[in-house]
Structure 1
Amino acid sequence: MKNKVSFFQSVGLKIILVYIFLLLITIELIGVYFDTELERNMERNFQNSIENRIQLLTYSLEEAFTRERTEEDPTLQAEVQSILSEFDSQDITELQVIDSQMRIIGTTNQFNRSIIGKITTREDVQRLFSFRTQLPYRKTYDQETGTRTLTNTIPVFNQSDEIIGAIFVEASMEDVFNQLDSITKIFMNGTIIALSITVVIGILVSRTITKPISEMRKQAHVVAGGDFSKKVNVYAMDEIGQLANSFNHMTERLKESYADTEEERRKLTSVLSNMNEGVIASNRKGEIILMNEQAGKFIGESFEKIKGHNVLSVLGIEEDFTSVSEVENKASVLIDFSNDQQTLLIKATFSIIYDETETVSGFITVLNDVTEEEKIEQDRREFVANVSHELRTPLTTMSSYLEALTDEDTLNNPDIAPKFLSVTQNETERMIRLVNDLLQLSKLDNDENYLRKEKVNFINFFHNIIDRFEMNKYEQDLSFVRRLPNKSYWVWIDKDKMTQVLDNVLSNAIKYSPEGGTITCKVEIKNKMLQVNVSDQGVGIPKEQVDRIFDRFYRVDKARSRKLGGTGLGLAIAREMIEAHDGRIWAESKEGKGTTIKITLPMMHQKRGDA
């Protein structure tokens, strides 16, 4: 989550500053306009006031200039000075009366009486008398005293409209500007008060804007954390309120989308976890970004350890392909992960993932354990080869003997013909046995050979089978040793199928036992299972071949097995039948010390008191 936004970075301060700037600009424009217009109006009023008073003075001076004087009358200078002394000189700092010769004949400045009688040097006075041109009022500023004055020269006319004199007026404007300063101060104080009120209003207004925005910011971080339970408060139905409603609607949609995504993720995780196939996802560079547990078992590495590694390198096929995209052109790649402990063959299938712009965004690698399939395929090939070989030998023999019998001399020979027919008959019976065994295995593989189980006292059942073999020992000097308990052990078996199994086991023991050998038959109880052991004293089986004697067509001594008439399918059929009874059959052997075939069968539970 980001740090809290400071006040100096917030939108609220920007709103307040905008309010202040707008108010300042407005007040500044209004102030400039107001100050300019006020100054102009006050100056105009001041000037009009001066003009009105000067007009009365002009009237009096006009009479004084035009009056005919006697010896008793005062002089013009004295009369002018008398008029000036009676004049209301408020705001007027100095008045000078000038006659037609441009001599100063009167002044209101008591400290400057020495100028009376002197000719004025003022340019505007000279221009007035010379060109009859009156200049407008002029403002002056004294830098030494800092005072501002209004000056002008006003002509005095006679009845003939001739200039007979002039009045120089100098009026102080300090009162006007003092009033302007007072009004400006009042305006500034009002501006400060307005700015203060504006700041307060700006803070309140900014809070109404920034508060919902701040709440939405906090809610955005909460939503980013996966919590969709809270909502933003809607304070008004303005644009911000509509934004808050839209944010809440977006949160609901995100909640639904997140729930759907999470459900799909759980489904995908469950599917990937429970798949028998290994799945590896990699990016466009072939770097691993996802892998399920089954793929880790196949490879022998954890996802954390190989994450980011190239998938071709992890699978050990980087030398065969320069990039992952090349592998996609092949239907599949068979990889051997076998070691000393187990055989493991993996088929890897690659597929390319494209994005919406048809650009390669990654690869999916599916790993399938095809060890059993390859083993079955190998067994099938061996089975076909063995069947072909087993059938070819008797067929070749029969073909040769029958071809010989087509010769009349051979057919009519009483010594040779019966022997040839006997060999042909034996080979035919051998093929019949082979085909019958194959049909029986086929039925067992397809679950078509149903068991007809019944309750059987296995000790009596086994005694009967051994009795039958003791009567026919194939002309060999053999003896049977019975180590059977003197009590009843009950099992639930198909007597015909179990008879076939025991017949095969005992037949093999007799076939491979030497002259004068002993066959030991033993029954015991181990781990609540009935165990049957049939041991002979034959040549034994090499250690590396013991587990293979139950494979179809497998013979330890192929020449002797064929000589004794075996098909190589007896023990394979026995294993299928024992497993159908929920039992197990295996062999233990040492070369030169004989072989023991062991069979386990589940026992029936007996009620207390049963024999």
Structure 2
Amino acid sequence: MKKVGFFRSIQLKFSIIYILLLLLAMQVIGSFFMTELRKELEENFTKSITDRMELLSYNLEQAFNRDDTVDDNEGLSLEEEVQQIVNEININNAETSIQVISNQGKILGTNDPDKLGEVGNRTANLIVENALNVNSFEPKPMIDKKTGERIYVQAVPLYDDTGESLVGVIYVEALIQSVYDQLAEINQIFIRGSILAISVSAIIGILVARTITKPIKEMRKQALTMAKGDFTQKVNIYGKDEIGQLAESFNDLNGRLKHSYATIEEERRKLSSVLSNMSDGVIAVDNVGSITLMNEAAGRLMKQNPDDLIGDMIIDVLQLEDRIVDITELQDSGSIIIDFSEDDEPFLLRANFSTVSDDEEEITGFIAVLSDVTEQERVEQERRDFVSNVSHELRTPLTTMKSYLEALSDGAWQDKEIAPKFLSVTQNETDRMIRMVNDLLQLSKMDSDEYPLMKERTEFISFFHHVIDRLEMNIPEHIAFIRDLPKRGGYYVWIDKDKITQVLDNIISNAIKYSPEGGQIRLKVENKRHYLLISVQDQGIGIAYDKLEKIFERFYRADRARTRKLGGTGLGLAITKELIEVHHGKIWAKSKEGKGTTISFTLPLMNQKRRERK
């Protein structure tokens, strides 16, 4: 955040408010002072004029009322006596003009040298005429049209002895402009004093404002520091006033935020570690379905970079358009299985949805937890298939046995030819079920790691010859074994002889079952340096390419009718695969329809040092 300039700072605002308040106070005081001063000066001026006019009017009234026959007039005419009285009047203001006018409007005397020539003439002054006609005139300031200056005009009536008849008027024009000039000078002095006071006050205001804004600036600086996650600094406390208390509260807040931030950061690291190391994928979305968070596991499951999916809609990412129309439906969707399988590669995801709510129980988003359930679904399907196959395999011999036993119960046991056949079939089916149960028990023990191996050092070539010899004694005459084994021995393996014997019996027995008349079974061993490659090749009907990998599954039969006829349980190659893998070997099959099948497996060779120790 950039620094706040002085002209936008609170310091300037404080100063402006301070100066405006001062200006307002000075304006009120100045206005009141100048108004009262003007009134006082005007009153003094008018009072001075009025007092002089009262004395002048008294003398003039005496002159107007004096009898011309009396010798007291000393032979002076009325005009001369009036002029004498006017000249003798003491007027402080030299710019005061006085005219004495008779009731006929004749100017009898004046103290204005410029207007002496008008004495004896009739006046044309409207104010005088108005005063003569109305017998009154309200004195007031006026503007002199010639000079443009303010003058005080007064018309004082003169009465006879009775006080009823108007004998004349005293017309006064006093220059009052000096009063207003004096007011203007005083106003200028007041303005200069105000400017000086405002300047000093502005400086003081800025200094005072700084004492207020300095702690605020420090708190702002500390707030910016706290926003960056640094809680180590404290705000200085300059007093015990409200700002000082605010600084104390700010430091307390800083401590609390430091503790809260540390707690949140610790929880964030824990959550980040959990999300990063989870095998399940986690996707967080907002209330409109836009992805806001996705961990690496979710990215691996979706086979995309998590950062590239931020902001995308979860309905599109999880391909839920056909199941969910509106994002709010996720609230009730619970768990959903999503099929992302491609071609022959199955890939199933389970998505569990939960809502995220605020304090007011308003939904603010959703959390989706993704799990790869491909293997789980495969195992579950195998379990269902296994149960179905076991049920089917047991039902067939049990149904056969039931049918034959019912026939024997109905009297067939008395038939010496049929009864032995029925009993023989029943016995064969019983033996078949016993073999199946034994095979299932063996697989169950191997699955639960309860099938111990008694391994020992074994020379494999001689061991293989022994197994072949035992089986060769019981094979049909129309089938021949071809031994493709190394001439010399010395190939030692670490095996459980009984278990590998069972492996060889299962593989060779299957080759015998599926070999045609006159067919050959090739038994081959090759030294591949670190392991032995053992293969059994027949010339039977073969297996289709798309079914080749399935022959090692439990209860799978390439030819169900033929296998059931030959008494197979469908578990032999499944057991064989388990036994080879616990010996750290591998087993596989190659086949072409109509040209036979080759079953191959490997066994690790014992190294030279180990053989020498043995």
Q: CA 1:337–1:602 in 2, change beyond 3 Å: closer, same or farther?
A: farther
CA contact (8 A) 2:589 2:597 kept: no
- Whichever residue aligns with residue 457 of structure 1, its letter is R
Matches within 5 A, 1:177-192: 177-192=180-195
Q: Give, in angstroms, the shift of residue 40 of structure 1.
A: 1.5
Residue 383 (str. 1) matches residue 386 (str. 2): yes
CA contact (8 A) 1:457 1:488 kept: no
| Structure 1 Cα separation of the partners of residues 138 and 325 of structure 2 | 100
Match of 1:90 among 77, 81, 92: 92
Q: CA 1:110–1:495 in 2, change beyond 3 Å: closer, same or farther?
A: same
| Structure 2 Cα separation of the partners of residues 547 and 385 of structure 1 | 20
Matching residue of 1:522: 525
Residue 445 (str. 1) matches residue 451 (str. 2): no
Residue 196 (str. 1) matches residue 187 (str. 2): no
Residue 347 (str. 1) matches residue 350 (str. 2): yes
CA contact (8 A) 1:482 1:522 kept: yes
Matching residue of 2:46: 47
| Structure 2 Cα separation of the partners of residues 23 and 168 of structure 1 | 47
Q: Give, in angstroms, the shift of residue 605 of structure 1.
A: 8.3
Q: Give, in angstroms, the shift of residue 532 of structure 1.
A: 4.6
Matching residue of 2:154: 152
Q: CA 1:609–1:117 in 2, change beyond 3 Å: closer, same or farther?
A: same
| Structure 2 Cα separation of the partners of residues 22 and 70 of structure 1 | 71
Q: Give, in angstroms, the shift of residue 286 of structure 1.
A: 3.9
Matching residue of 1:36: 35
Matching residue of 1:459: 459
Moved more, 357-366 or 106-115: 357-366
Matching residue of 1:574: 576
Matches within 5 A, 1:48-447: 48-51=47-50, 69=71, 81-82=83-84, 84-92=86-94, 93-96=96-99, 105-117=108-120, 137-153=139-155, 168-210=171-213, 213=216, 237-247=240-250, 249-250=252-253, 253-303=256-306, 306-326=309-329, 329=332, 332-406=335-409, 410-411=413-414, 413=416, 416-447=418-449
SS of structure 1 residue aligned to 2:423: helix
Matching residue of 2:549: 547
Q: Give, in angstroms, the shift of residue 480 of structure 1.
A: 3.6
- Whichever residue aligns with residue 482 of structure 1, its letter is L
Q: CA 1:273–1:86 in 2, change beyond 3 Å: closer, same or farther?
A: same
- Whichever residue aligns with residue 551 of structure 2, its letter is I
| Structure 2 Cα separation of the partners of residues 483 and 431 of structure 1 | 40
Q: CA 1:351–1:485 in 2, change beyond 3 Å: closer, same or farther?
A: farther
Give deviations 1:514-551, integer Å, cap 9, x for gaps.
Answer: 6573543526355x5x4351323343544333322221
SS of structure 2 residue aligned to 1:598: strand
CA contact (8 A) 1:281 1:289 kept: yes
SS of structure 2 residue aligned to 1:483: coil
- The percent identity for this pair of structures is 46
- Whichever residue aligns with residue 567 of structure 2, its letter is G
Q: CA 1:273–1:602 in 2, change beyond 3 Å: closer, same or farther?
A: farther
Q: CA 1:263–1:60 in 2, change beyond 3 Å: closer, same or farther?
A: same
Matching residue of 1:534: 535
CA contact (8 A) 1:513 1:536 kept: no
| Structure 2 Cα separation of the partners of residues 560 and 589 of structure 1 | 18
Matching residue of 1:21: 20
| Structure 2 Cα separation of the partners of residues 57 and 324 of structure 1 | 108
Give deviations 1:149-198, integer Å, cap 9, x for gaps.
Answer: 33435578999989998755443223322222211111121122233334
Normalised TM-score (structure 2): 0.80
Q: Give, in angstroms, the shift of residue 279 of structure 1.
A: 3.7
| Structure 2 Cα separation of the partners of residues 382 and 371 of structure 1 | 16
Q: Give, in angstroms, the shift of residue 37 of structure 1.
A: 1.1
- Whichever residue aligns with residue 200 of structure 2, its letter is I
- Whichever residue aligns with residue 457 of structure 2, its letter is N
Q: CA 1:74–1:523 in 2, change beyond 3 Å: closer, same or farther?
A: same
SS of structure 2 residue aligned to 1:432: helix
| Structure 2 Cα separation of the partners of residues 51 and 285 of structure 1 | 93
| Structure 2 Cα separation of the partners of residues 446 and 284 of structure 1 | 47
| Structure 1 Cα separation of the partners of residues 271 and 54 of structure 2 | 107
| Structure 1 Cα separation of the partners of residues 425 and 167 of structure 2 | 180
Q: CA 1:562–1:124 in 2, change beyond 3 Å: closer, same or farther?
A: closer
Q: Give, in angstroms, the shift of residue 352 of structure 1.
A: 4.8
| Structure 1 Cα separation of the partners of residues 457 and 131 of structure 2 | 162
Residue 558 (str. 1) matches residue 560 (str. 2): yes
SS of structure 1 residue aligned to 2:485: strand
SS of structure 2 residue aligned to 1:478: strand
Q: CA 1:169–1:531 in 2, change beyond 3 Å: closer, same or farther?
A: same
CA contact (8 A) 1:586 1:599 kept: no
- Whichever residue aligns with residue 30 of structure 1, its letter is I
| Structure 1 Cα separation of the partners of residues 153 and 574 of structure 2 | 141
Q: CA RMSD in A?
A: 4.3
Q: Give, in angstroms, the shift of residue 91 of structure 1.
A: 0.7
Give deviations 1:203-251, integer Å, cap 9, x for gaps.
Answer: 4444445555555556656655656566655555544555555555555
CA contact (8 A) 2:467 2:501 kept: no
| Structure 2 Cα separation of the partners of residues 107 and 468 of structure 1 | 170
| Structure 2 Cα separation of the partners of residues 240 and 144 of structure 1 | 66
| Structure 2 Cα separation of the partners of residues 70 and 347 of structure 1 | 142
| Structure 2 Cα separation of the partners of residues 319 and 75 of structure 1 | 133
| Structure 2 Cα separation of the partners of residues 51 and 392 of structure 1 | 147
Q: Give, in angstroms, the shift of residue 38 of structure 1.
A: 0.9
Matching residue of 2:600: 597
CA contact (8 A) 1:277 1:368 kept: yes
| Structure 2 Cα separation of the partners of residues 484 and 259 of structure 1 | 76
Structure 1: which 5+ runs fail to align? none
Q: Give, in angstroms, the shift of residue 117 of structure 1.
A: 4.8
| Structure 2 Cα separation of the partners of residues 518 and 271 of structure 1 | 58
- Whichever residue aligns with residue 550 of structure 2, its letter is R
- Whichever residue aligns with residue 203 of structure 2, its letter is V
Q: CA 1:195–1:397 in 2, change beyond 3 Å: closer, same or farther?
A: same
- Whichever residue aligns with residue 462 of structure 2, its letter is H
- Whichever residue aligns with residue 586 of structure 1, its letter is W
Give deviations 1:414-438, integer Å, cap 9, x for gaps.
Answer: x554444343333322221111111
CA contact (8 A) 2:283 2:291 kept: yes
Give deviations 1:286-319, integer Å, cap 9, x for gaps.
Answer: 4444444444444444445555554444444423
Q: Give, in angstroms, the shift of residue 459 of structure 1.
A: 1.4
| Structure 2 Cα separation of the partners of residues 150 and 231 of structure 1 | 73
Q: Give, in angstroms, the shift of residue 344 of structure 1.
A: 1.4
- Whichever residue aligns with residue 459 of structure 2, its letter is I
| Structure 2 Cα separation of the partners of residues 505 and 555 of structure 1 | 14
Aligned residues: 602
| Structure 2 Cα separation of the partners of residues 406 and 61 of structure 1 | 178
Give deviations 1:42-62, integer Å, cap 9, x for gaps.
Answer: 222233444555566677778
| Structure 2 Cα separation of the partners of residues 512 and 217 of structure 1 | 91
Moved more, 169-178 or 547-556: 169-178
Q: CA 1:334–1:211 in 2, change beyond 3 Å: closer, same or farther?
A: same
